[in-house]
Structure 1
């Protein structure tokens, strides 16, 4: 589940059941199934500590970073229409119209200050659709927050409070992380403010499909540090107290399985949100599945499609009027490479597309009816997700 209390490339009109092929949607139309630049450092930051020579290194990290971790409370109005069976003349006369059911939904999460002038990094799902945002600092002060921008595709958001000379975190590097490294999480799980947990990095490079959030375009860091609802948006720190990831998700019913967005990814998205208020992700408009010998046999026997290869990425659906449709991609095509980079898994296609530039051509090599063909396609901006 995403942790706030409170695409994926989309193949059109094909009758192949996506569940049969374990397909992954790569556009923002998929719905998540889980519950879901630093400036000057603060002058109050303590000296760097290391786990190698200090058995109480966690204490030093908490003292160093704790003042820059915040609690975020968000409120949104949820309106639901009364069911049709209650829509009778008596009720209409009493209410004047069909009475809506309205309630205020409140949730809380975490965040961390990345700029002494009040810029705060958190998860998109913590503030999505919020009509009011309140930020509480560890020193007890509260501020009204303003959402500078949010990106549901990566689940990153930036909010701003009107304050100066705030304590800030130190940003680390998530590219060189190794399983087994010590990590510390600080956040506000289940309303228990400024809770500290520790553990190790269990794995890196967990794809969104690995953890069941197929509408996200992120490779996650896995940790066994305890993460619970309300930790969303809080920092995952290394032994030096540098932020190396942003805590984001847990898997329902699992023990010791927490996931965080690498800070290099989160920071890159945050910079775009601060500059433009939004992030444009490249989009092709396909749904796909990693092709295996078993899937090849199922497709050929059950759906009458003549697949001649059992390696590559199979197109299950092509969205009408999408870049993929305009380029001539079809259901049943098997992608072999993109811009001379071989691909055998959907995650490889997602990464290449996400790193591409909108409007610049990608050269796809596909197998169609046993014949290899080259198709040029220009990614477009990912359409905005409808609804909240």
Structure 2
């Protein structure tokens, strides 16, 4: 038996068996081959007629056949779109001028350790420890970005410009323009840079809620200092949570793509086949190949608008660590001798820890509680809870339904402002 399966061959065999069953050898006669010959002639006649109809548009048969078709079918048949085999080239030519390189630099000061300033320590080393003044060095980083307005608003990643003293934007035509950071949000890794320039080329933005796995994905950026690099692939998945990606301090549902993304691609656009931005390239898995992640452009638009108008973004949070419950997770927790939790449910979102003095703690949520719904919306996964909280407002009321020791508990929680410097909270 071959390791390959040929369904066409199996289908042909089954047809042969059916014909033998319907026409046993003992009943073959002249009528059989005459009928077969007539069928062949009939088939040739149909084929010839069909060729005539197709070849002669004015033939009565063709006009009669078209009359039996709906007008839309005729129009569709006459206007079948044919994909340009060089559509990626067209995308790059149209979008490339709006993709920029971002050179960010920051000054790092290294002070002499305080212990070396102790005279007793210097005496112990015979005065051989030099007491130098604090030294400074400049760190430089390269990232990508794309222009969203003709007056110079540029989207990039927060980590590209984090802590930078100076930002220089390099256009594809070689122009270098000094930029300034309008706002940066490390929670979603979105930043906005502004340059004082007009009539700049811009990108078109898509609706990232409509993308589907399997669609084309095109990345443009400056990986490893190689300017204007283009890579292409597909959308591998959508809705990857920060825990899936391994970036627990981010509150995003990522787009996964196999278009090659490398250091320096960060902040650059991920495009669809029409050249519209569907995401911002932001992360890769160092332990894998062909797995990159982008921030959905709908999230980027929401965050960038707040950065432009307010300079910062407030993220609501409850102050809990949580995990999506499954029968396996339940068994692992209950069989762990170091766990203080006794899980009785097979689904929902388990509160593993409540941060002290957090909104959740003030509302009475406890470790071991299982969140079943918020404001009437059923919650079955941790990222669903995080998304509901993220879409709420600081200080608003959230009606939370819990299961606690087999009983239903209803609480009202008011989300607080997410503390950016605390990276171990997810909701």
Alignment TM class, shorter chain as reference: 0.7 to 0.9
Which of structures 1 and 2 has the bigger CA Rg?
A: 2
Correspondence 1:1-388 to 2 at 5 A: 52-83=82-113, 86-89=116-119, 90=122, 95=131, 99-301=133-335, 302=337, 303-385=339-421
Distance in 1, Cα, partners of 2:237 & 2:307: 28
Deviation at 1:375, TM superposition (A): 0.8
Deviation at 1:253, TM superposition (A): 2.8
More helix by share: 2
C-alpha change, 1:188 and 1:368, in structure 2 (3 Å) is same
Equivalent residues, number? 335
Deviation at 1:103, TM superposition (A): 2.4
C-alpha change, 1:306 and 1:256, in structure 2 (3 Å) is closer
C-alpha change, 1:334 and 1:92, in structure 2 (3 Å) is farther
Normalising to structure 1: TM-score of the pair? 0.81
Q: Which has the higher contact order (CA 8 A, sep 6+)?
A: 1
Distance in 2, Cα, partners of 1:139 & 1:92: 54
Contact 1:225 1:258 in 2 (8 A): yes
Summarize deviations over 1:291-330 as a string: whole Å, max 9, x none: 2334334444523433322222111211111111110111
Distance in 2, Cα, partners of 1:206 & 1:309: 25
Distance in 2, Cα, partners of 1:192 & 1:308: 54
Summarize deviations over 1:244-280 as a string: whole Å, max 9, x none: 1111111003111111111111111111110101111
Distance in 1, Cα, partners of 2:222 & 2:398: 44
Deviation at 1:83, TM superposition (A): 4.8
3-state SS in 2 of match to 1:168: coil
User: Aligned-pair RMSD on alpha carbons?
Assistant: 2.1
Decide which moves more: 127-136 or 285-294. Answer: 285-294
Deviation at 1:224, TM superposition (A): 1.3
Normalising to structure 2: TM-score of the pair? 0.74
C-alpha change, 1:368 and 1:82, in structure 2 (3 Å) is farther
Contact 1:307 1:370 in 2 (8 A): no
Deviation at 1:142, TM superposition (A): 0.6
C-alpha change, 1:92 and 1:151, in structure 2 (3 Å) is farther
Distance in 2, Cα, partners of 1:208 & 1:321: 25
More strand by share: 1
3-state SS in 2 of match to 1:108: strand
Deviation at 1:112, TM superposition (A): 0.4
Contact 2:117 2:131 in 1 (8 A): no
